[in-house]
């Protein structure tokens, strides 16, 4: 594999896709001009959305890898095919739990099932003020992890599976130096990225809940700029420049 100076593992909405058009153009141009970067999308989005996103000419750089569906899927960026070796543990923990989760949360106040058929999770639009106080406890008792983010989404995930743990397995699979990884995010479903020990950036538009949760994480840079501008700030802060092989 080529020499890798930087693995940029970034959330999409509000992060890599956030900020001003000028800031996004600058970041995307800078990344396209380097041959020592692996770009990884780590997102709650599904692979269909990502395929459409990068298909638009001159829009968004194509990623080398995708950790999608809040960490419950892993794809090769060339073919957009699942990487079976990295999905095996996810699949084993999930099994065929979708129908059981849907039945468990049927008629649950504050939750509206999303129509997309995800492979290893069940996702809802939610109204946080209406959620039952014991919702997370009931999901955990059933053997799953519940994740509320952006005050509008609720995901039921395989126990122990999230963006961060799946990214850790991908980095190990690639044999990349963990010190060359930069993670970026803006909502609570990105918190597990900042719990990996990798260098990180919470962009300037990050939700208050995420900022409070990373308060004591010195490896995470708090950017002033929103979205793409915040990522650019972090690349400069951590000196992730071409040819910098500390």
> Does residue 245 register a pLDDT over 70?
no
Cα–Cα distances in angstroms (integers) from residue 42 to residues 85, 106, 110, in the given order = 18, 29, 27
pLDDT in tens, 72-129: 999 999 999 999 999 999 999 999 999 999 999 999 999 999 987 789 999 999 999 9
Q: Hey, what domains does the chain have and what are their CATH numbers?
A: 6-90+161-237 (3.40.50.1000), 93-158 (3.90.1070.10)
Tokens of 23: 């800031």
pLDDT at 1: 52
Average pLDDT, rounded, for the chain: 94
pLDDT in tens, 32-54: 999 999 999 999 999 999 999 99
> Does residue 26 register a pLDDT over 50?
yes
- Its sign, for the CA torsion 209, 212, 216, 218, is positive
Burial profile 123-141: b = 16 or more Cβ within 10 angstroms, e = fewer: bbebeeeebeeebbeebee
Q: Which is it for strands 153-158 and 37-42: parallel, antiparallel or unpaired?
A: unpaired
Least confident of 78-92, 111-125, 199-213, 216-230: 111-125
């Amino acid at each position: 594999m080529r020499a890798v100076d930087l693995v940029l593992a970034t959330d999409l909405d509000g992060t890599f896709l956030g900020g001003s058009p000028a800031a996004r153009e600058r970041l995307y141009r800078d990344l396209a001009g380097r041959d020592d970067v692996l770009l990884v999308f780590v997102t709650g989005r599904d692979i269909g959305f990502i395929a459409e996103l990068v298909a638009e000419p001159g829009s968004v750089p194509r990623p080398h890898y995708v950790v999608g569906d809040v960490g419950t899927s892993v794809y090769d960026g060339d073919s957009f095919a699942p990487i079976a070796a990295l999905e095996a543990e996810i699949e084993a923990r999930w099994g065929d739990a979708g129908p059981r989760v849907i039945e468990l949360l049927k008629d649950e106040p504050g939750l509206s099932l999303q129509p997309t058929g995800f492979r290893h999770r069940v996702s809802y639009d939610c109204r946080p003020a209406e959620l039952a106080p014991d919702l997370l406890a009931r999901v955990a008792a059933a053997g799953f992890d519940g994740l509320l983010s952006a005050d509008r989404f609720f995901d039921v995930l395989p126990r122990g599976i999230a963006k961060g743990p799946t990214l850790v397995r991908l980095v190990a699979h690639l044999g990349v130096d963990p010190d060359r990884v930069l993670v970026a995010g803006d909502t609570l479903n990105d918190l597990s990225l900042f719990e990996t020990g990798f260098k990180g950036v919470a962009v300037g538009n990050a939700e208050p809940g995420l900022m409070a949760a990373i308060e004591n994480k010195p490896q995470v840079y708090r950017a002033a700029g929103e979205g793409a501008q915040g990522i650019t700030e972090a690349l400069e802060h951590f000196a992730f420049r071409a040819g910098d092989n500390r």
